[in-house]
Structure 1
Amino acid sequence: MTDTAEVKKPVPYAVEQLSAESLAPDDAVLQAQGHRPELARSFSWPHWSPFTDLGSIANSWLGYGATFGTPLSYGGGPTVLFGVMIAAVAQWIVLLGLAELCSALPSSGGQYHFTYILTPPKYKKFAAYTVGITNVIAWWVSAASGIIYTGISAFGIAVFWYPDFQHERWQIYLCYVLVVSLTLIPVFAVPQRRYDYLTKTTFTLSITGLVLVLIAVLASGRGRYHPEVLTTFQGTSGWDTAPAWLLSITMGQYCYAAIGAVTHIAEEMPQPGRRIPLVINLGVLVGVMTAVPWVTVMLCGIQDMDAVHKAFIPSMEVYYQATGSKAGATALQAFMTFLYWTCGPSQWITSSRIAWAFSRDNGLPFSHYWNYIDPKFNIPVRTTFLSVTFCLLYGLVYIASSTAFNCIVNMSILFLNISFTVPQAILATVGRDQLPARSFNLGRWGYAVNIFSTVWLVFSGILFCLPTRLPVTAGSMNYGSGVLVGVYCLILLLWIERRKKFTGPKINWDALNMSNKLQ
């Protein structure tokens, strides 16, 4: 098909004619940015659905459960507990800058949208395209990281009962493929207008699961607690104390980075300019309030640190040591595995919206095909399956290396933070007065937030590419730097093909300022 087929669909209302009387304020904000509303605003605020959707994606305590063994190997209890606390502060500052941008320019396009608007004309298309495709890949990798651990957790239960079983990584990959298939079922079985019920159920199950785990571990381990684990440095990774601390902090960001997902359902929730910043800030708060108690209880329940370090699933070994029962440990880990599965549908919801929004501006090859809302399901079905295809291919990385899971997790955090931070760096460079009126304004703290986010991205990016343990072998090498270079080489090739086709949002500043004030 020719390039003319990829020209953006015309907006049915002239943006110059926007007013409070002609459109609902939420749709007026969207159309002032050059896009027409196509998705139903099904995440209704009175039911806290945007927050519960965020909870079903981020699920901080579950996220830390997936990566628990890595920071534990860096330095034992102190790096696990205090690492996740410090990570919360660092990631919260990064997300504050994102929240302000979302308040000013709410759109499912999110970060590439902000970048296009803020960058000087000469560079805006390339900068926005790079951020946009980075964001698409970031959420695909994030989805892969969550789903592959679901497979690892399920497989780990079998290994726990049959320790002599000689498992292979390709077997875990097949389990991963099965989980991908199972997580797709709710996406199509539940009507789009009922997605808020789906995410509320997931969030409720997560909080219920956390309470059950805390009660089970505390009650079973009564009289056998070891609070000294919280302050005793017991690293096995080979890293010295200082770098071990820094590496544990970056790993702790995995609990909170996905909170930015709410940005991409801006077109499916009312008053996004007001609600998104509130949801992001509440998300970090709830993340800390769930992750820290879980970590504290788990650490105090450890009886044999060496056994936890060597375990296929460290969290399951802790459950076993705390309860003294293989059946009890299996029940707790199985329930966690089920909770990991319930998070999968929200990953597909988010990643498909991002890819769809990017194709709306001709960001993907064959954008005319991907820029499609299925009339039967009222969701972007094609970009949902595009996301699935990427995840199936990216999951093959797990077969290549024993540390590939850590690589997948690290890259998901890094790519997300690149997309969160680049528009903030541009904003700090061109001047914060470039933003329109907004309900969430960082004011005099804005430059400090934007500059910190930029510096932290560079610093943490270096850490993400370091190996998880020393000495380095071919099997334990961190392939993150190779993945990073490969991804941006691919992005450069895609840009060569897209540079004359990619378009950004067309902004009516007067209408946008007026519409933002009406929210």
Structure 2
Amino acid sequence: MTNNKRHGDAASQLEAKGVGETFDLDDTVLRAQGHEVQLERSFSWMGALGLAFSIVNSWLTYASCFGVAYSYGGGLVAIFSPILSALVQWVMLMGVAELSSAFPSSGGQYHFTYIVAPDGYKAFSAYLVGTINVIAWWVNTASGTIYTAISAFGICEFLVAGFVGTQWQVYLCYLLVIILTLLPIAIIPQQRIENMTKTAMLLSIIGFVLVVIVCLVMGKGTYHPSALVEYRSTSGWGPGVGWLLGIGNGEYAFAAAGACVHIAEEIPSPARRIPLVINLTIILGVLTLVPWIIAMTSVIQDMDAVQSAFLPSLELFYQATGSKAAAASLQTYLTILYYTCVPSQWITSSRMTWAFSRDNGLPFSDYWSEIDSKRNIPVRATLLSAAFCVIYGLLYIASTQAFNSIINTAVLMLNITYTVPQALLAIRGRDMLPPRYFDLGKYGYSVHIFSVLWLILSGVLFCFPTTNPPTLANMNYNAAVILGIFVVVLVCWVERRKKFCGPAIDWDLLNMAQTVAH
């Protein structure tokens, strides 16, 4: 049977099912997954790319953690490990892109998990993935917010002799950033919100070019090209472990590229455009991060000072330019960029929270799943995400180490949510997927198996301390954090097990709609 014949038969069957002659395919696909349309499709593919890239912002994100990469193996590891990080994260996200093409929904990974899991395990496995995903996005949003505050205080310490910001002062600044980053969500009409995400992406690309040019021009005559290929470990780990830890560290710059999955119900033709946006986000991330870290490594004068600095990027700028004013100006621009990342994170975390509440995944779900009639966005879910960040930020006052441990764990939690539905699909068979625009075909099983194996390996690596031998000061608490999160999820499941409900799939309608669409 030809594609045109299948398309015609499916369209006729859709009309016979009462969908109507003027049905909207995107809405029909969503309805086939048990949900009614509640959000406007106000994001273009470029707006979605702006949202995903403004969150990932690979070069900017790496600027907040590249000092650790130097300790694992100098410039050699710092430059080449993020390339490998992008590759492994891209493979994992290809499985997510295919699932989002088959089952486009703002619920994302927990939604996929519920559909592909065996009948007796659907609810629990989907609830587990959904809760972990909600927490991961809340914590990711908190990390973007706190680093905006830390960057601001770092500039003050750099310029004002004797000034040292206390942890409670950083927390107060963190609260101010939360308020300021929520303002665009409240003020900008939803129909124009994508202009904000596209502007954030444009500002990031301009910043990347600006930082590279200024540092290279002002650092003329002081280049150290040998640093690009010099292996220099100060972490105490050998080359093998150092490289693996460097790859794990680099994943922080790419893991959130799946953010666009959670605005699937706000993009026209999401089955086509979400895979496109995920791929473009990774590509843009590599094209900005790699040149940036090459340029920065070549102008470093004192690597030990960069590694030990309160703000490694600021110390690097100072070494490159030799000017406090220039260094502070560049870091100020970076602080503005950190600020522009956070509104996109609020959008993603609120959509994930709203979608999970829609399936009764949270206490008082009826309240959190309401869509504001005037703004046409999940305002209550946004405020719930903000409330979590306010409370969670108190941990920074008590212990920066504990706060940072949970932030590092967020990357691992995102990868868990990416991998669980792929593992289930590999076990149950890929033939259960409906027709879809983005199809991994013969590479599907390889992608799923690789994702599982890498999750196991990286899960172990994320629990390694940054230096060897470990001390109380640099000990990694990720294993304890992950265990604690799983305990919390299991306790919550006791209360939710009879209330949580996943999507009710109409397979006939979904298959017909996807056939017509693709």
- Which interval holds the TM-score relative to the shorter structure? over 0.9
For 1:160, the aligned partner's letter is F
In 2, Cα distance between the equivalents of 1:102 and 1:435? 11
Q: Secondary structure at the match of 2:262?
A: helix
Sequence identity (%): 57
- Deviation of 1:406 (Å): 4.3
2:110 to 101, 112, 116: 112
Superposed, 1:485-496 pairs within 5 Å as 485-496=483-494
From the superposition, tell whether residues 159 and 20 of structure 1 become closer, same or farther in structure 2 (CA, over 3 Å).
Answer: farther
Superposed, 1:170-249 pairs within 5 Å as 170-249=168-247
Q: TM-score, normalised by structure 2?
A: 0.94
Q: Secondary structure at the match of 1:167?
A: coil
The C-alpha deviation readout for 1:438-492, integer Å capped at 9, x for no partner, is 0111111100000000111111011111212233232322221121111111100
Superposed, 1:35-46 pairs within 5 Å as 35-45=35-45
From the superposition, tell whether residues 233 and 16 of structure 1 become closer, same or farther in structure 2 (CA, over 3 Å).
Answer: farther
Superposed, 1:491-506 pairs within 5 Å as 491-506=489-504
In 2, Cα distance between the equivalents of 1:143 and 1:82? 27
In 2, Cα distance between the equivalents of 1:342 and 1:161? 24
8 Å Cα contact 1:320-1:329 kept in structure 2: yes
In 2, Cα distance between the equivalents of 1:400 and 1:418? 28
Corresponding residue for 1:25? 25
- Deviation of 1:241 (Å): 2.2
Corresponding residue for 1:125? 123
Point out the more displaced range, 74-83 or 169-178: 169-178
In 2, Cα distance between the equivalents of 1:516 and 1:221? 55
In 2, Cα distance between the equivalents of 1:403 and 1:160? 23
Answer yes or no: is 1:287 the counterpart of 2:285.
yes
The C-alpha deviation readout for 1:306-325, integer Å capped at 9, x for no partner, is 21122111111111111110
Point out the more displaced range, 64-73 or 424-433: 64-73
Give the gaps of 5 or more residues in structure 1.
Answer: 1-13
Return structure 1 stretches of 4+ with deviation > 4 angstroms: none
Answer yes or no: is 1:421 the counterpart of 2:416.
no
The C-alpha deviation readout for 1:381-427, integer Å capped at 9, x for no partner, is 11101111112222233334454464244212111000010000000
The C-alpha deviation readout for 1:214-237, integer Å capped at 9, x for no partner, is 111111111211111111122322
Q: Secondary structure at the match of 1:135?
A: helix
Superposed, 1:157-176 pairs within 5 Å as 157-162=155-160, 164-176=162-174
8 Å Cα contact 2:223-2:299 kept in structure 1: yes
Q: Secondary structure at the match of 1:123?
A: helix
In 2, Cα distance between the equivalents of 1:485 and 1:366? 26
Answer yes or no: is 1:83 the counterpart of 2:81.
yes
- Deviation of 1:145 (Å): 1.4
In 2, Cα distance between the equivalents of 1:219 and 1:405? 38
For 2:495, the aligned partner's letter is E
For 2:34, the aligned partner's letter is G
Corresponding residue for 2:320? 322
Answer yes or no: is 1:375 the counterpart of 2:373.
yes
For 2:123, the aligned partner's letter is K
In 2, Cα distance between the equivalents of 1:456 and 1:397? 30
The C-alpha deviation readout for 1:51-90, integer Å capped at 9, x for no partner, is 1121111111111111122212222211111110110110
Point out the more displaced range, 388-397 or 32-41: 388-397
Corresponding residue for 2:354? 356
8 Å Cα contact 1:42-1:192 kept in structure 2: yes
Superposed, 1:333-344 pairs within 5 Å as 333-344=331-342
- Deviation of 1:148 (Å): 1.2
8 Å Cα contact 2:409-2:478 kept in structure 1: yes
In 2, Cα distance between the equivalents of 1:281 and 1:319? 31
In 2, Cα distance between the equivalents of 1:458 and 1:219? 44
The C-alpha deviation readout for 1:74-133, integer Å capped at 9, x for no partner, is 222111111101101100000000000000000001111111111111111100110111
The C-alpha deviation readout for 1:338-361, integer Å capped at 9, x for no partner, is 000001100000000000000000
In 2, Cα distance between the equivalents of 1:343 and 1:361? 28
In 2, Cα distance between the equivalents of 1:323 and 1:245? 30
8 Å Cα contact 2:228-2:294 kept in structure 1: yes
For 2:129, the aligned partner's letter is V
The C-alpha deviation readout for 1:114-162, integer Å capped at 9, x for no partner, is 1111111111110011011111111111111111111111111112123
In 2, Cα distance between the equivalents of 1:327 and 1:509? 62
In 1, Cα distance between the equivalents of 2:336 and 2:446? 41
Pairwise CA RMSD of aligned residues? 1.6
In 2, Cα distance between the equivalents of 1:198 and 1:244? 39
In 1, Cα distance between the equivalents of 2:138 and 2:149? 17
For 1:360, the aligned partner's letter is R
In 1, Cα distance between the equivalents of 2:316 and 2:126? 45
8 Å Cα contact 1:49-1:196 kept in structure 2: yes
In 1, Cα distance between the equivalents of 2:429 and 2:161? 59
Corresponding residue for 1:102? 100
Corresponding residue for 2:6? none
- Deviation of 1:171 (Å): 2.5
For 1:167, the aligned partner's letter is G
Corresponding residue for 1:311? 309
Q: TM-score, normalised by structure 1?
A: 0.94
8 Å Cα contact 2:72-2:233 kept in structure 1: yes
Superposed, 1:430-509 pairs within 5 Å as 430-509=428-507
8 Å Cα contact 1:18-1:28 kept in structure 2: no
In 2, Cα distance between the equivalents of 1:332 and 1:481? 36
From the superposition, tell whether residues 88 and 128 of structure 1 become closer, same or farther in structure 2 (CA, over 3 Å).
Answer: same
From the superposition, tell whether residues 204 and 166 of structure 1 become closer, same or farther in structure 2 (CA, over 3 Å).
Answer: closer
In 2, Cα distance between the equivalents of 1:419 and 1:18? 36
In 1, Cα distance between the equivalents of 2:219 and 2:153? 26
Number of residue-to-residue matches in the alignment: 504
For 2:420, the aligned partner's letter is V
In 2, Cα distance between the equivalents of 1:17 and 1:143? 43
8 Å Cα contact 2:102-2:434 kept in structure 1: yes
- Deviation of 1:17 (Å): 3.5
Point out the more displaced range, 396-405 or 347-356: 396-405
For 1:497, the aligned partner's letter is E
Corresponding residue for 1:272? 270
